[in-house]
Structure 1
Amino acid sequence: MTDDLTRLDTLSRETIDAPESGGSALPLAADEGLDRHTRVDLLKQERAIAAKYQNGPMWGYVVAAVGGFAIWLALFPLTMFGAVHPAITLVVSTFLTVAGYVTCHEAMHDNIAKRGSKYRWANQLVGEVSLLPIAVPFSMGRVSHLEHHKHCNHPEKDPDYTDEAPNWWMAWYKTWWNRQPRVDGTINRYKSVCQQLDTRESRLALKQTMIVQVIYLTVLFTMAWNGYAIAAVVCWWLPRQLGLSYIRYFLSWAPHHPRAGKTERYEQANIFKSHVGHFFSMCMETHLIHHLHPGIPNHKTKAAYLEMKPILEKRGVDCSAI
């Protein structure tokens, strides 16, 4: 029993690569006011609960990703030829753009199908089609997101740190400002991170990002040139702008603010109550669970949180919001 406790305590102090293990993504703090055996026992309980919510069927995400992508593509001709009103197209396309990131997020962590699985193709398929509405390839999304997990809230190494803002309205503003050509934020920051990493995956991400963005601009220009400028705006350009702002606000700023100095395991994300509810906040109210256990699918994080809540409170997490 002593050897098991020692091994578990040692593991708890390591940074575990989320996509490879699907386990805890962050290191435990050395001094949390609890003795070693208490911390180890709480960690064992936490992992036992997490295991209950992992490895379930994920085909719903595959259907949602492929179906959503098909509808998104269909909106182009339907809008161009007047079968669907531009206002309806704008609303539906924006929703699909945001929803696409949710499905892709699972693929980034190999939650659709693990490496070596005969259904691995499904994980890749979900990742590839889900991010096209925001004109970003799966490779770029994956590399940058995993770097966020490895260096969460580090001002220089976390690719998402530039989303930090002092309040909610400045956060919304920064979702737009960070996308400007000469600003080191969002995709520009992601490109810089990939250049610094200089790995096979990051180099591929840079190449595919250039290709996807050329396709994006070519499609918009071609549609506008041929008299379908309004369709181009409501099918892709404006939903992409609105979707990116929504994603950056709820996925990045809301669960992590304030970021400064919060790099320990149980403080990297907050438990908060959103004014738009759990579903429309992309299930980010309990985003801390995702950082603790990336193998838990997004739609199960709240249930896992509610079961883990007594444990998290003992670890010093503020659970008063939910």
Structure 2
Amino acid sequence: MKALFIGGTGTISAAITRQLAAQGCELYVLNRGTRNEGLPSSVKTLEADINDESCVADLIRDMSFDVVADFIAFVPAQLERDYRLFAGKTKQFIFISSASAYQKPLSDYRVTESTPLANPYWEYSRNKIACEEYLMKQYREQRFPITIVRPSHTYDERSIPLGVHGSKGSWQVAKRMLEGKPVLIHGDGTSLWTMTHNEDFAKGFIGLMGNLHAIGESVQITSDESLTWNQIYTAIADALDVPLSAVHAPSEFLAACSREDFTGGLIGDKANSVVFDNAKLKRLVPGFTADIRFDQGIKRTVAHILAHPELQREDPEFDAWCDSVIAALDEAASAVRRSLAD
């Protein structure tokens, strides 16, 4: 198989790249070359900015592929560019959408590919929906051989997956745990969520590559494991070998008092209970299973981050915000108690 990845070094794509290289795939990655140091030696690089359409067109002028996958397309204009570049040059074009595009709030917590797409809370998700609509139009009218993949919360060894964190990533929450400070969990921590290790995601994705039954289809790839946010944070604390000290706060309150845009990622995504039905994926990729349980995968992630100080990006602004939110919740509870005592 001859494949081209636009991107190829991110959380989702890095594991796919490694597994394909190990299988002997003729794999090309097209990116700006700023994060290619970890690529397997067999992977061929095409160094360019995908947004420089004329440059990319020159690079691939005499090339064609069995599969082209774009991991860094977020708005329809980028898919329009991809169509101009790759129509007639690939047997399959895979777009990485997002499970956040599904209906919010959900009418049924069990999510399948037929769950309506509608997220009024998050522009990111609405853009992904518009991208899907554009590609389906090209499939129906031009027979452009598309496959749409919808990941949910996928993680790797480089970042701890969380519900609430600052703009510099998740390390500051882990640091608070290590220091014995309380951490914020949205809601009461009992809503259900799904975490998928990128190595498991890669197995499902590779099974869709070159799969004629996947053409014209939308497919979600997630673990079958459902966890509460309390369980997720407990597993992270266990991996750090510290007790969990948690403070629960309403999602709406966190979104209202944060400088970060929590409305989309929290109200429009993580605050909702979701349980994914992966029956369609398992029909298309017989034998697929997500093997890495979260409590096992997060231990690998934490060990890697603790061994790599460059991944430990501190965020004092977020740390101070957590302290102020927790203090405000304590003061509100105290004020109510005082009013009842009067």
TM-score normalized by structure 1?
Answer: 0.26
User: Structure 1 or 2: larger helix share?
Assistant: 1
Tell me: higher relative CO, structure 1 or 2? Use CA pairs within 8 A at least 6 residues apart. 1
User: Structure 1 or 2: larger strand share?
Assistant: 2
